[in-house]
A and B are shown apart, each in its own frame.
Chain A
Amino acid sequence: MSREVRVAIAGGSGYTGGELLRLLLFHPHVQVQQITSERFAGKPVTKVHPNLRKLTPLKFDKIGDLQPCDLLFLCLPHGETANRWDDFVRLAPKVIDLSADFRLNDAAAYRHAYKKHHPRPDLLQRFVYGIPELHRDEIRDADYVASAGCNATATILGLYPLYRAGVVDPERTVVEVKVGSSEAGNRANEGSHHPERSNCLRSFSPTGHRHVAEITQELSFGSKIQVHFSATAVDMVRGALATSHVFLNQGLEEKDVWKIYREHYAAEPFVRIVKERDGIYRYPEPKLLAGTNFCDVGFERDPASDRVVVISAIDNLMKGSAGQAVQALNLMCGFEERTALEFPGLHPV
C-alpha cells in the first residue's frame, strides 16, 4: 500500500511551502494533490523551488481551485487561516496550520500577543499545539494541529525537561535566540537587501517577541512563569540557536541535570542531547542540522552559581516548521514518526 493519503498545500510558494513539498514528494504514503500560489498560479513549482527540478510536474493552483483531500497544510500569512476557516474545513477532515492563528489555547493570551481580538475564539480549543515531544498522544487523535513557531520550538524543547521537573525558578529565565534570515520569509524588504543584510547581527526583537506567549503556555505547569526573550538575526540562511539561562531552585549536580534530560529525551527520535567534553562540536550547532528534523539540546551548569545554560538548535524550516508539520502528519495518519524525515544532515557543510 502506498500513496494513500492525498494532501494539498495552501500557500506553497513560500519557504515553508517549498520545504513541505520537498519532504512530501519523498513520503512513501503521501500524494501531493495540489499546491497553491496566487502569484505563481499556472507556473511550475520548480520556478519557485528550483531544488525540485526534475522531481515533480506539479504546477501552482489558485487557492479557490482547491479540491477535497485527506489532509490540508495551510502555510498562509498570519490571520488567513482563522478568517477563511469555513472554506478550508470543507476541503479536508484533517488540517495542519503552520501559522500562529491557533497555537494559543486562550483568546486573552492571543489578544495580548497579537494586539487584536481572535477572529475565531470558538476554535481555539480544537487545535492541538504541534510539538510531538509534548503532545504526541493528542496529535495522534487530532483533526486539527497548530504547528509551533520556530523560536518557540527551539526554546521549549531546550527548557521543557527542567520546567516539567520543577527544578528551576519559573520566573527567572532569560532566552536569547539567534536566527537565520529564512525565518523572515521570502518577501524582500529594504532590510533584506544584500548589502544591508550581509554580515549583520541584527537585534530585531530585544523584547516583545510573539513566540513568548507559546513558550509561556507550554512551560507553565500550574505556576506563573516569566520568560524573558530576545531574538537576533545572524548571517546565516537556515538555523536557530536558543541560549537559555535558568536558575536552579534546588541543589542539583550536573549529573542530576543529565538524568532529567535523559529521562525526557532518551526515547525521542528527533531530540539529541549534545554535550561533549572534547571534539570540535561540543554543543548544538545549527549548521549541522540544516535540512534535518533534529533538535539538539545541550547544557552546562555554572559551577560558580545556580545558573544552568541550556543551548538548543534546530533548522527553523524543518523542526521549526515544515519538518515538525510532517512529523505531525505521520502521527495523525498512523505512519512511523520518522517517515520522510530521516535525512541526517551534512558534514562538512
Chain B
Amino acid sequence: MTTAQATATTFECVVCGAPIELGDDTLQGELIDCGDCGTELEVVSTQPFLIQEAPQEAEDWGQ
C-alpha cells in the first residue's frame, strides 16, 4: 500500500440512530444530512469527532 488510505469512522445520527460515516478529511463545522431522517447534522469537532444537530432555520412549513 503506497498511497494513504482515507479512513472512516462510523457515528450514529443523534436523532434516529442511523449509521453515519465520517472520513478523515471531514472538516470542523461541516454539515451532513442524515440519509434516514433527513436531519442536518453539524460536525462540531474533529479531534475527537463530535456531531450534533445543526441549528434549524426558521420554520416555514404550514398546513
Interface residue ranges, A against B (CB under 8 Å): 254-256, 258-259, 262, 273, 275-280, 282
Could you tell me if B38 and A258 are in contact, using CB atoms closer than 8 angstroms? no
- Chain A residues in 8 Å Cβ range of B38: 275-279
Number of interface residues of B (CB under 8 A): 13
Beyond contacts A277-B37, A279-B38: 6 other A-B pairs, Cβ-Cβ < 8 A, are A255-B14, A255-B15, A275-B16, A276-B38, A277-B40, A282-B61
Contacting residue for A278 out of B14, B16, B18, B61, CB 8 A: B61
Chain B interface mostly: loop
Could you tell me if A255 and B17 are in contact, using CB atoms closer than 8 angstroms? yes
- Chain A residues in 8 Å Cβ range of B12: 255
Could you tell me if B36 and A258 are in contact, using CB atoms closer than 8 angstroms? yes
Known: A258-B36, A258-B37, A275-B37. A280 touches B16 (CB 8 A): no
Interface residue ranges, B against A (CB under 8 Å): 12, 14-18, 36-40, 56, 61
**In the A-B complex, the 10 residue pairs with the closest CB atoms:** A276-B38, A258-B16, A255-B17, A277-B39, A277-B38, A259-B17, A258-B17, A275-B37, A255-B16, A276-B37
Known: A278-B61, A280-B61. A273 touches B36 (CB 8 A): yes
**Assembled-state Cα–Cα distance A256/B36 (Å):** 14
Q: Supply 16 A–B pairs (Cβ within 8 Å), ascending by A.
A: A255-B16, A258-B15, A258-B16, A258-B18, A258-B37, A262-B36, A273-B36, A276-B37, A276-B38, A277-B15, A277-B37, A277-B39, A278-B38, A278-B40, A278-B61, A279-B38
